């Protein structure tokens, strides 16, 4: 039998680096996926006793485990979060309607050098 989830112990082991975190329920199913510029600070913010919305309080009450993935940059974390939300469809992530908030990569060929950008909407040339 696994030891009960200890948020303080989990947070203490997190780095101050960008990445993605996943909160899991008792069945090890992802119930929330989030990104952070600083994993330790962001994850710790969930477990501080402050005024929380009923939705957040309910989510926290169901957390039985957590996982993290450290990324090189916040942009990389943003893309990974997006892919994990699509893959796992966690219960407590906001439902994205019509894919209007999903991130995509856009290659901008203008200028001296092409640039790769993370955008929410791609303008279609006519």
For residue 84, the SS3 value is: helix
Average confidence (pLDDT) per 10 residues, the chain, 126 residues: 81 95 95 95 88 86 94 93 92 66 76 83 63
Cβ(66)–Cβ(54) under 8 Å? no
On the CB side of 26, how many CA atoms lie within 13 Å of its CA? 4
- Report CA torsion sign: 42, 48, 50, 51: positive
- Burial label for 21, CB within 10 Å (0-12, 13-18, 19+), is buried
Q: What is the pTM of this model?
A: 0.74
């Amino acid at each position: 039998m696994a030891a009960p989830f200890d948020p303080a112990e989990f947070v203490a082991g997190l780095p101050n680096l960008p990445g993605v975190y996943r909160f899991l329920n008792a069945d090890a199913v992802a119930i929330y996926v989030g990104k952070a510029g600083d994993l330790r600070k962001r994850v710790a913010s969930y477990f501080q006793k402050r005024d929380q919305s009923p939705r957040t309080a309910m989510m926290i009450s169901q957390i039985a485990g957590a996982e993290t993935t450290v990324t090189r940059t916040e942009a990389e974390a943003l893309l990974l979060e997006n892919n994990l939300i699509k893959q796992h469809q966690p219960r407590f992530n906001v439902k994205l309607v019509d894919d209007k908030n999903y991130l995509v990569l856009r290659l901008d060929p203008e200028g001296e050098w092409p640039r790769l950008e993370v955008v929410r909407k791609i303008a279609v040339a006519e």
